[in-house]
């Protein structure tokens, strides 16, 4: 299996460009907090022969594949099986941090993982298959109100109440254990006019995945922990693929790059100065050429920031 043929890292050159100023010195430490199949890390290890990589991932399959891919750099690589909100335990003094959020190419492409509504498979959706609640468990045990809540909040689904009601009514007769079971139910529950607006399962599958993996709560903890772990001059690059993720990143970067001086203070004291500066102007997106080559780059939103002073 040639990983380069099946896995094209999103915005690779831009990530390298943004992280480069922080990785020039000897002993620089790069933390890839969402290692996946290691495409970004491989490129950065190739281009910066001085760096040491710490790669984090909750998916044991991803760690195994990335380990094979990065084997030639073994003396400079440490791989850790963990969820990336534990980044503070592994990244103190980091020079650069990269986060490529959401579901990985590996998880989408392996049908048996249950992430893709276009492929029939067990409704699992766990990024770490060694523990936790599956999507089938959520559908079988959550109340109608809780199902509606996650579909609305995490999927921004307008038909959340209708879908939750159909699921609760149907599950006693036919448990929803496979992705096709859920797709069939959602299609039956969706008015014809709404079906023309896109596949009815898209937002529900996204919401279930986020719930199963606690993605937004993990991200909310991980971003400030990662920023705290950076040295002065260190940089963090984050790629998001849906608006809920991007909003959390935007808010964290904005808070860290703003003065904390009380309103009306005539002179800003050093302890109130911003700790970070944003490098990107808003969120950057992939160019049309990359979107054509790599459809998974279509929804990406990239933000980057640099640490400019120690905490007060």
Going by the annotation, the residues of the binding site are 38-40, 57, 84, 100, 107
Strand 94-100 versus strand 230-240 pairing type = parallel
What is the number of alpha carbons within 13 Å of residue 197 lying toward its C-beta?
A: 12
What is the number of alpha carbons within 13 Å of residue 205 lying toward its C-beta?
A: 29
Q: Are 225 and 257 in contact (CB under 8 A)?
A: no
Instruction: Mention every residue, 6+ apart, whose C-beta is less than 8 A from residue 80.
Output: 54, 55, 56, 57, 90
Coil/strand/helix, residue 98: strand
Coil/strand/helix, residue 207: helix
Distance of CA 302 to the CA centre of its chain: 11
Instruction: Mention every residue, 6+ apart, whose C-beta is less than 8 A from residue 281.
Output: none
DSSP string, 281-312: SS-B---HHHHHH-GGGTT-EEEEEEE-S---
Task: Could you list the residues known to form a binding site for S-adenosyl-L-methionine, using ranges.
Answer: 38-40, 57, 84, 100, 107
Q: What is the CB neighbour count within 10 angstroms for residue 277? A: 13
């Amino acid at each position: 299996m040639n990983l380069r043929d099946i896995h094209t890292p999103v915005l690779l050159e831009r990530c390298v460009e943004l992280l480069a100023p922080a990785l020039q010195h000897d002993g620089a430490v790069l933390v890839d907090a969402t290692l996946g199949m290691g495409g970004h890390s491989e490129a950065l290890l190739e281009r910066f022969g001085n760096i040491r990589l710490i790669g984090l991932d909750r998916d044991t399959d991803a760690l195994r594949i990335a380990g094979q891919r990065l084997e030639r750099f073994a003396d400079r690589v440490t791989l850790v099986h963990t969820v990336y909100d534990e980044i503070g335990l592994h990244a103190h003094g980091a020079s650069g941090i990269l986060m490529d959020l959401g579901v990985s190419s590996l998880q989408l492409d392996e049908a048996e993982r249950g992430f893709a509504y276009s492929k029939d498979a067990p409704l699992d959706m766990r990024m770490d298959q060694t523990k936790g609640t599956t999507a089938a468990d959520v559908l079988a045990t959550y109340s109608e109100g809780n199902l509606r809540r996650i579909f609305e909040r995490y999927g921004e689904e307008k038909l959340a109440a209708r879908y939750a009601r159909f699921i609760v009514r149907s599950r006693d007769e036919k448990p929803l254990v496979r992705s096709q079971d859920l797709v069939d139910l959602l299609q039956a529950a969706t008015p014809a006019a709404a079906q023309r607006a896109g596949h009815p399962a898209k937002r529900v599958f996204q919401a279930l995945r986020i719930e199963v993996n606690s993605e937004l709560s993990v991200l909310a903890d991980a971003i400030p922990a990662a920023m705290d772990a950076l040295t002065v001059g260190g940089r963090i690059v984050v790629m998001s693929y849906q608006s809920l993720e991007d909003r959390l990143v935007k808010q964290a970067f904005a808070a860290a790059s703003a003065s904390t001086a009380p309103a009306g203070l005539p002179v800003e004291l050093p302890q109130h100065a911003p700790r970070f500066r944003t490098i990107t102007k808003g969120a950057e997106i992939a160019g049309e050429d990359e979107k054509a080559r790599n459809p998974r780059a279509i929804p990406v939103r990239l933000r980057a920031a640099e640490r400019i002073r120690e905490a007060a």
